[in-house]
Amino acid sequence: MANQSYTAFRSGILTGAYDLDTAVIKVALVSGYTFSAAHATMADVTSAGGTINGTPATLANPTVTAGVFDADDCTITTTSSGANHYLIVYQASAVTGGADVAAASQKLCFYFDTGTNLPIVPGAGTLTITWPSGAGKIYKVG
C-alpha cells in the first residue's frame, strides 16, 4: 500500500473540521492495524486492532504554506520492540487547539507505511522521525 490520507480528513480540511497549524497535531507509532480510509478517529484505529507503541509525539512548529503541511522532526520514546510499525498523524485537540480530546474525538489525518525506514522495527528507546524535506513535506494538497 502507499501512504494515504483518511476520507474524513479530506472532507474535513475543506469544512474547517481540521486545522493543521492551530490544532495539536500528533504522530503515533502503530502496529497491528490495517489501514481503512473509512476510519475517522484514533478510537477506530485501536478498535481495529492497532496498538500504539510509546507516547505519540506532538508536531512542533507546524506550518501550512501554499498547500503544503510541514513541522519539525520529532522523537517518540518507544516502549516495546516488534515488526511492522507504521505512522499515523492525527489531530489530538479541538480545531482551535488546547488539551487533547478523548480518542473517540481525535481525528485521523494521514497513514504512512511507505518511505525510508518504513515499516519501522523499533526497539525500546527513542525513535527519531525525520519528515521529508522535498516539495511535498509531510503532506501536499493536490
pLDDT digits (tens, 9 = 90+) for 11-31: 999 999 999 999 999 999 999
CA dihedral 9, 43, 35, 99 (to 10 degrees): 50
Residue 78 lies in a domain: yes
Residue 10 lies in a domain: yes
Residue 139 lies in a domain: no
Residue 142 lies in a domain: no
Residue 141 lies in a domain: no
**How much is the pLDDT for 80?**
78
Domain count along the chain: 1
pTM, full prediction: 0.95
Which domain, by its residues, includes 44?
Answer: 4-132
Residue 137 lies in a domain: no
SS3 10: helix
Residue 123 lies in a domain: yes
Residue 17 lies in a domain: yes
CB 128 within 8 A of CB 56: no
